[in-house]
Amino acid sequence: MLAKKIVRNLLFLVSILLVGILFSGCGADKAATAQNDGKSEVTLKVGAALVPHTDILNFIKPKLKEAGINLEIVNLDDEDQLNPALQEKQIDANYFQHLPYLESVAKEKGYDFVSAAKVHVEPMGFYSQKIKSLDALPDGAKIAIPNNPSNEFRSLVILQKQGLIKLRTDVKNFAATPKDIVENPKNLQFVEVEPAQLVRALPDVDGAVINTNWILEAKIDPNSALFREDADSPYANILVVRKNDENRPEIQKLVQILQSDDVRKFIEDKYKGAVVPAF
């Protein structure tokens, strides 16, 4: 009898211990869930060009942090890889391009992307290490221009506005090359160059049409341009996401902060007209 009583008591104690462990485990799970819910933070990976894009994103990082969004900025040596990275879901958004450029590559590559926000414009300019004024541009001058379709067209339009060339009137879809020039009174020679290499090409040409971001990265004063496109340029740099991701709450919050008065003031104060807000 004594032995049976001891066994019953042991079984009772074991059952109490098991129930206690079970409930304590559930309680820990609930506490952990509650803690995670209270401190949940979403990470957004945004691929960006270095200047001014990364500068602007770094400026808004603290505001996003307050909103529960951890912004991770991804810089690649080759900016052309930022669209494939978005396509392959390595990043949540990218910020380095304008809409004409996106449209020029989207059809070819099959990207299903949308613009979530316009942020800024980098007025493209004409730079030279050999001449100090447009009047000094010699006949037969060698001019370097970007070789990607949208920026090539953009650079030719800038030269056309200065009266240096005239393009065919039926050019469409932001696509034109020097072959579309119908008037060239100075017999300018055009050298098509990778955009990132245009600054390096300056010593070898009489002038080059260069995006402001490459000028800023090279620490060249943008105001040294002999002429620049107007601030109302249609080439606003945009935040690009996969289609339907523009509806994600964290993307909408990013857009809200990117297009805030604080960001407007930051751009105006830091770049003093070399970069202008597009919102």
Residue 192 belongs to domain spanning: 125-228
β-sheet bridge partners, residue 228: 125
Residues 223 and 136 in one domain: yes
pLDDT at 207: 98
Q: Are 118 and 164 in contact (CB under 8 A)?
A: no
Average pLDDT score over residue span 255-277: 96
Q: Which of 230, 139, 148 is nearest to 196 (CA)?
A: 148
Mean pLDDT computed over 9-13: 44
Who wins on pLDDT, 171 or 53? 53
pLDDT over threshold 60, residue 5: no
Q: Domain for residue 35, yes or no?
A: no
pLDDT at 195: 94
d(CA 155, CA 173): 14
pLDDT tens sequence across 144-159: 999 988 899 999 999 9
**How many domains are contained in the chain?**
2
Are 129 and 217 found together in one domain? yes
Mean pLDDT, range 125-147, rounded to an integer:
97
> Which of 209, 228, 247 is the last residue before a domain boundary?
228
Q: Alpha helices of the chain — where are they, by DSSP H?
A: 2-38, 55-66, 82-87, 99-109, 149-161, 198-201, 212-217, 249-258, 261-271
Instruction: Give the integer Cα–Cα distance in Å for 219 and 59.
Output: 20
Mean pLDDT of the residues in the chain: 87
Which of 144, 165, 147, 156 is CA-nearest to residue 208?
144
- Domain stop point among 190, 210, 228: 228
- 19 domain residue, yes or no: no
pTM (2 decimals)? 0.78
117 and 241, same domain (yes or no): yes
Please tell me the predicted confidence (pLDDT) of residue 232: 72
| 24: in domain | no
In whole angstroms, give the CA distance from residue 210 to residue 208. Answer: 6
Residues 132 and 224 both lie in one domain = yes
| pLDDT tens-digit series, residues 23-61 | 334 433 333 333 334 458 999 999 999 999 999 999 999
Establish how many alpha carbons lie within 13 A of residue 145's alpha carbon, considering only the half-sphere containing its beta carbon. 21
Confidence label for 204 from pLDDT (cuts 50, 70 and 90)? very high
What letter would DSSP give residue 68? T
